[in-house]
Amino acid sequence: MPYVDGFVLPVPKKNLKAYRRMAAAAGRVWKKHGALQYVECVGDDLNQKKVASFPRAAKAKTGETVLFSWIVYRSRAHRDRVNRKIMNDPAILAMMNQKPIFDFRRMVYGGFKVIVKR
Protein backbone atom coordinates (compact mmCIF):
# COMPACT_ATOMS: atom_id res chain seq x y z
CA MET A 1 0.00 0.00 0.00
CA PRO A 2 1.14 3.59 -0.60
CA TYR A 3 2.37 5.93 2.12
CA VAL A 4 1.08 9.50 2.53
CA ASP A 5 2.50 12.61 4.15
CA GLY A 6 -0.34 14.93 5.16
CA PHE A 7 -0.27 18.62 6.01
CA VAL A 8 -2.71 21.21 7.34
CA LEU A 9 -1.41 24.77 7.45
CA PRO A 10 -2.73 28.28 7.89
CA VAL A 11 -1.84 30.76 5.15
CA PRO A 12 -2.67 34.46 5.11
CA LYS A 13 -5.18 35.04 2.31
CA LYS A 14 -2.99 37.87 0.99
CA ASN A 15 -0.20 35.28 0.45
CA LEU A 16 -2.26 32.70 -1.48
CA LYS A 17 -0.84 33.62 -4.90
CA ALA A 18 2.72 33.42 -3.59
CA TYR A 19 1.93 30.15 -1.80
CA ARG A 20 0.45 28.67 -4.98
CA ARG A 21 3.59 29.56 -6.95
CA MET A 22 5.82 28.07 -4.25
CA ALA A 23 3.68 24.92 -3.99
CA ALA A 24 3.70 24.40 -7.77
CA ALA A 25 7.50 24.65 -7.79
CA ALA A 26 7.78 22.34 -4.76
CA GLY A 27 5.44 19.83 -6.39
CA ARG A 28 7.67 19.67 -9.45
CA VAL A 29 10.68 18.95 -7.22
CA TRP A 30 8.88 16.25 -5.23
CA LYS A 31 7.71 14.58 -8.44
CA LYS A 32 11.22 14.87 -9.94
CA HIS A 33 12.58 12.95 -6.95
CA GLY A 34 9.95 10.21 -7.12
CA ALA A 35 6.77 11.25 -5.30
CA LEU A 36 3.76 9.61 -6.95
CA GLN A 37 1.33 12.47 -6.29
CA TYR A 38 1.54 16.00 -4.86
CA VAL A 39 -1.73 17.78 -4.00
CA GLU A 40 -2.42 21.20 -2.45
CA CYS A 41 -6.01 22.23 -1.59
CA VAL A 42 -7.29 25.54 -0.23
CA GLY A 43 -10.09 25.58 2.33
CA ASP A 44 -13.63 26.11 1.08
CA ASP A 45 -16.17 24.64 3.55
CA LEU A 46 -14.38 25.00 6.88
CA ASN A 47 -16.96 26.39 9.30
CA GLN A 48 -17.66 23.19 11.22
CA LYS A 49 -19.33 23.69 14.59
CA LYS A 50 -19.94 20.18 15.95
CA VAL A 51 -16.62 18.54 15.07
CA ALA A 52 -12.96 19.53 15.22
CA SER A 53 -12.13 21.82 12.34
CA PHE A 54 -9.06 22.40 10.23
CA PRO A 55 -8.91 26.12 11.15
CA ARG A 56 -8.89 25.24 14.86
CA ALA A 57 -6.26 22.54 14.36
CA ALA A 58 -4.00 25.01 12.51
CA LYS A 59 -4.87 27.87 14.89
CA ALA A 60 -5.91 29.99 11.90
CA LYS A 61 -6.23 33.68 12.61
CA THR A 62 -8.47 36.32 11.06
CA GLY A 63 -7.38 36.89 7.47
CA GLU A 64 -6.00 33.37 7.07
CA THR A 65 -7.31 30.32 5.28
CA VAL A 66 -6.26 26.71 5.69
CA LEU A 67 -4.57 24.47 3.16
CA PHE A 68 -4.83 20.69 3.21
CA SER A 69 -2.06 18.96 1.32
CA TRP A 70 -0.70 15.50 0.77
CA ILE A 71 2.13 13.73 -1.00
CA VAL A 72 1.88 10.07 -1.99
CA TYR A 73 4.80 7.62 -2.06
CA ARG A 74 5.18 3.89 -2.76
CA SER A 75 6.07 3.18 0.89
CA ARG A 76 7.52 4.82 4.00
CA ALA A 77 11.01 3.77 2.92
CA HIS A 78 10.37 5.39 -0.48
CA ARG A 79 9.16 8.56 1.30
CA ASP A 80 12.34 8.64 3.38
CA ARG A 81 14.55 8.29 0.27
CA VAL A 82 12.63 11.00 -1.60
CA ASN A 83 12.74 13.38 1.36
CA ARG A 84 16.51 12.95 1.76
CA LYS A 85 16.87 14.04 -1.88
CA ILE A 86 14.40 16.90 -1.37
CA MET A 87 16.35 18.33 1.56
CA ASN A 88 19.43 18.61 -0.69
CA ASP A 89 17.68 19.97 -3.78
CA PRO A 90 18.83 23.53 -4.63
CA ALA A 91 15.28 24.68 -5.45
CA ILE A 92 13.98 23.59 -2.03
CA LEU A 93 17.00 25.05 -0.24
CA ALA A 94 16.33 28.38 -1.99
CA MET A 95 12.67 28.27 -0.90
CA MET A 96 13.72 27.62 2.68
CA ASN A 97 15.91 30.75 2.60
CA GLN A 98 13.08 33.05 1.48
CA LYS A 99 10.79 35.02 3.76
CA PRO A 100 8.16 32.54 5.04
CA ILE A 101 4.72 32.70 3.41
CA PHE A 102 3.05 31.05 6.43
CA ASP A 103 3.79 30.21 10.06
CA PHE A 104 5.54 26.81 10.06
CA ARG A 105 4.98 26.47 13.82
CA ARG A 106 1.23 26.07 13.23
CA MET A 107 1.57 23.50 10.44
CA VAL A 108 0.07 20.11 11.34
CA TYR A 109 2.01 17.24 9.74
CA GLY A 110 2.17 13.47 9.83
CA GLY A 111 3.01 10.35 7.85
CA PHE A 112 0.23 7.84 7.24
CA LYS A 113 0.01 4.19 6.21
CA VAL A 114 -2.82 3.68 3.71
CA ILE A 115 -5.29 1.08 5.01
CA VAL A 116 -8.01 1.35 2.33
CA LYS A 117 -7.54 2.29 -1.31
CA ARG A 118 -10.31 2.04 -3.91
Decide: pTM greater than 0.85.
yes
Domain ranges within the chain, ordered by starting residue: 3-45+53-113
pLDDT in tens, 33-52: 999 999 999 999 998 888 88
Dihedral sign for Cα 107, 108, 111, 112, please.
negative
Domain 3-45+53-113 class, CATH top level = alpha beta
DSSP-assigned letters across all residues of 1-24? --EEEEEEEEEEGGGHHHHHHHHH
Parts of the chain with a pLDDT under 70 = none
